[in-house]
Amino acid sequence: MNTLTVFIIAVNTSRMIFPGVPPVLPTADAPKATTPPAAKTISFDLLSTIQATYLSKAEVKVPEGLKVSNPVRLILDLERKSSSESEKLEPASKFVVKQYWGSGQEVPAGQPRVYMSDELPTVAPSRTMPDTSYAYWPTSTAEPLAQDASAVGTYVLTTDYCGRAEVTLDSLYDFLAPIDLVGTPKKANLEKPVKITWKSVPRALGYLVTAVGGNLMESITWTSSSDPAAAEDLEHRPCTREEIAKLIEKKILLPSYCVSCTIPAGIFKGSSSVFVSITAFGPDKIEKQEGFETWVIVRSKAGIPIFGTNYKPLIEDEEKKTSGK
């Protein structure tokens, strides 16, 4: 029987932006902060067709530049359900799902695709992943890495159940710079086109922009990609330079020189707010040997809510209440 183990290293930079809200509280050292801080994170996922037990061990020796305790001990999740054993969820209230795609001033003909929430088409994964055993690090409550942390160096995975792997990352695979947005309004007329602009990210090979909005009755999604299904899992799997070049040619990803895109007019009309996500794709790395694959996935992400002109906060701005007296 053939075995397969996949070791995934995800090198991420992320930034959350709230228009009109100070990024950090002023301090003596930084009295005039203008941009929100970015978080650097690195994660390890180990998936294998080989069974692990409660006594199994898996750990990763990491470079000193990450500034974390060495070695990193992976957490074995023996209760993780396989795709064929996924839990059956109780049916929720049905709602309408509208799907739009492509950058431009107006909605193209033939859009949106409309589904009921219980009729959403399933997107086949790009490949079947091993799911007999799973280990990971860090936990969801872990602190971000130091601002000056570096991913450069050698990573050595050792286990007592599914083998060993070693991969070296040079500066090409270090953390990408955070995404800086330009001129994003606190409120926008969602009946008109909404332009999203950002500064170029060094070493980024391409970009993907998505947005989600709606109300209690319907969910509305939009993507800059020409094919939403083709872009479905790109943020979480490695893409070679050649693959990214083809994705850009097919307009599934935006090219590296692109620094803006436009959500067509009226897509989110009636929504009180829209959450926009921008992902910069770095150079990924894939190494294979018999029965073992190592993936290095490099991304920088930014998220920002854009409020419609009809948005009313649940809690009034204290300064406005004071000034109105």
What pLDDT is recorded for position 248?
A: 97
- Please give the pLDDT value at position 209: 97
Cβ(9)–Cβ(167) under 8 Å? yes
CA angle 238, 241, 245 (to 5 degrees): 115
pLDDT of residue 188: 86
Per-residue pLDDT at 139: 87
pLDDT of the residue at 123: 62
Query: Which residue, chain included where needed, has tokens 């809690």?
Result: 315
pLDDT digits (tens, 9 = 90+) for 233-282: 898 899 999 999 999 999 999 999 999 999 999 999 988 889 999 999 99
Residue closest to 157 by CA, chosen among 286, 71, 265 = 71
Which H or E run contains 263? strand 260-263
Q: How far is 50 from 34, CA to CA, in rounded Å?
A: 49
Q: How do the domains of the chain map onto residue ranges?
A: 5-83+92-311
Question: What confidence score (pLDDT) does residue 89 get?
Answer: 44
Among the listed residues 219, 215, 214, the one whose alpha carbon sits nearest the alpha carbon of residue 117 = 219
- Residue 91 and residue 197: Cα distance in Å, rounded? 39
CA separation for the pair 80, 131 (Å, rounded): 8
With b meaning 16 or more CB within 10 Å and e meaning fewer, what string describes 125-150? Answer: eeeebbebbbbbbbeeeeebbeeebb
The encoded tokens of residue 216 equal 């209690």
Which segments of the chain have a pLDDT < 50? 21-33, 81-89, 91, 317-319, 321-325
Nearest to 133 by CA among 197, 80, 92, 171: 80
Kindly report, residue by residue over 195-244, the tens digit of the pLDDT. 999 999 999 999 999 999 988 788 999 999 999 999 988 988 999 999 99
* φ/ψ of residue 310, rounded to 5: -90, 5
Distance CA 129, CA 123 (A): 15
